Amino acid sequence: MKILAIIPAYNEEKNIDLVVRKLRVVSPWLDILVINDGSTDKTPGIAKEAGAEVISLPVNLGIGGAVQTGFLYAWNKGYDIALQVDGDGQHRPEEIQKLIQPLLDRKVDVTIGSRFLNKTSYQMPAARRLGTCFLKKTLNKVVRKKYTDPTSGFRAYNRKALSILCHHYSIDYPEPDAIVTLLKNGLQVKEISVEMDPRGFGKSSITPFKSGYYMFKVSMAIIFNSIMGAIWRE
């Protein structure tokens, strides 16, 4: 099995070294790809020094464009499983085996690391928790399934999922919308309870104002995708 960790990163020079090095120590069987999303700091150089392969985008595309770049790389290079791991240090390498094992056992196509499926130590700011709750209710009503952490970016995908997301993946805050796309195409998507940490250095780009805008925008995207979204066939 060839497994690739995809790390989207924008101006994460204070976090990316530790993220890559911890992955190499805890999961030495992983290949590691950092998608440098138009950073203006030293993120790409530090990532290379830490031992990651780096693709540098000429401009900042946002999380969707960066992650989809990783999907395309994983697909074209023949990887069996692609992991999505944040570049801010929130995702623990020790939890990766939980995500990939159901894929290795061929029980599901995609796993999502959830902070809320079971009680964990993670504490989310109140404004973001409210937005996540709203999105969760919207998503669950649309797909008629129960997901507890639709905004989680800690995920594992098999090749069937990659074949779809290489062609259909939202540019802006894509995680909840991707669940709709995957389910609509008949894939099995399962949440796995994981522990996460607060981000390392720096601040999230999602401010309280952006959180409200994000909540509205993604909710509309989920509803639209459920009605008009594409069914992909190879």
Taking only the tens place, the pLDDT of each residue in 9-19 is 999 999 999 99
Between CA 143 and CA 131 the distance in angstroms is 18
Question: Alpha-carbon distance 114 to 185, whole Å?
Answer: 22
For the segment 96-106, the average pLDDT, to the nearest whole number, is: 97
HSE-CB of 20 using CA atoms within 13 angstroms: 27
Question: What is the average per-residue pLDDT within 139-147?
Answer: 95
Three-state SS at 114: strand
Sequence-ordered list of residues with C-beta below 8 angstroms from that of 26, at least 6 positions apart, any chain: 93, 94, 96
Amino acid code (one letter) for 166:
C
- Both tokens of 122, joined, read 């993670």
pLDDT at 219 over 80: yes
- Concatenated DSSP letters for 129-182? HHHHHHHHHHHHHHHTS--S-TT---EEEEHHHHHHHTTS--SSS-HHHHHHHH
Domains and CATH numbers, the chain: 3-228 (3.90.550.10)
Per-residue tokens: 203: 């601040």
Q: What is the pTM of this model?
A: 0.90
pLDDT of residue 208: 54
Joined tokens for residue 77 = 């290079």
The rounded Cα 6 to chain-centroid distance in angstroms is: 9
Length of the chain: 234
**pLDDT tens for each residue of 45-91:** 999 999 999 999 999 999 999 999 999 999 999 999 999 999 999 99
Q: How many CB atoms lie within 10 A of CB 110?
A: 25
Token reading at 39: 């950073």
